[in-house]
Structure 1
Amino acid sequence: MLTPREFYVVIERDEDGYYVGEVPQLKGCYSQGDTIDELLTNIKEVIELCLEEQEESNKNLSEFVGIQKVSI
């Protein structure tokens, strides 16, 4: 049995009202959905695809450090 892996998903709402998610640990790993639930279902599929691609190319995962809010 595989050990579950956890990933952070940064979620935003775009100008058309869609929820857009990106996984910073996986290059090019993003998806969208009409609802947050739909987005999370879609992003799980994309994460699996990104992990398969990484295994084939032997790339290492980036380490997610965090999100900071900056005021200017």
Structure 2
Amino acid sequence: MKHYQFTIIVQRDEEGNYVAICPALQGCYSEGETPEEAVAYLKDAIQLHIEDRQARNEPIYEELFSQRLDVAA
């Protein structure tokens, strides 16, 4: 079994829920009432996403690096 590492982002939406997003896996996100719940659900979503791609013999793209940008607006 191969292990993967992905960068995730946790944000708060306008209703006060937490949204966890995995940018490397397009469309892979989850929502929870706490950051921990959102991350736990996202981990499940990532595992299902990977299993689905493997079943269809599709590649699983791995991140090269992540970086924070400081932008003035």
**Range into which the TM-score falls when normalised by the shorter chain:** 0.7 to 0.9
TM-score by length of 2: 0.81
The 1:62–1:27 alpha-carbon spacing in structure 2 relative to 1, beyond 3 Å, is farther
In 1, Cα distance between equivalents of 2:50 and 2:60:
10
Q: 1:62: Cα distance to partner? A: 5.0
In 1, Cα distance between equivalents of 2:13 and 2:38:
13
Q: Which runs of 4+ in 1 moved over 3 A?
A: none
Q: How does 1:1-72 map to 2 (within 5 A)?
A: 2-57=1-56, 58-61=58-61, 63=63, 65-66=65-66, 67-72=68-73
Paired residues in the alignment total: 71
Q: Aligned-pair RMSD on alpha carbons?
A: 1.7
- Alignment check: 8 A CA contact 2:6 2:63 kept: no
Identity of aligned residues (%): 31
TM-score by length of 1: 0.82
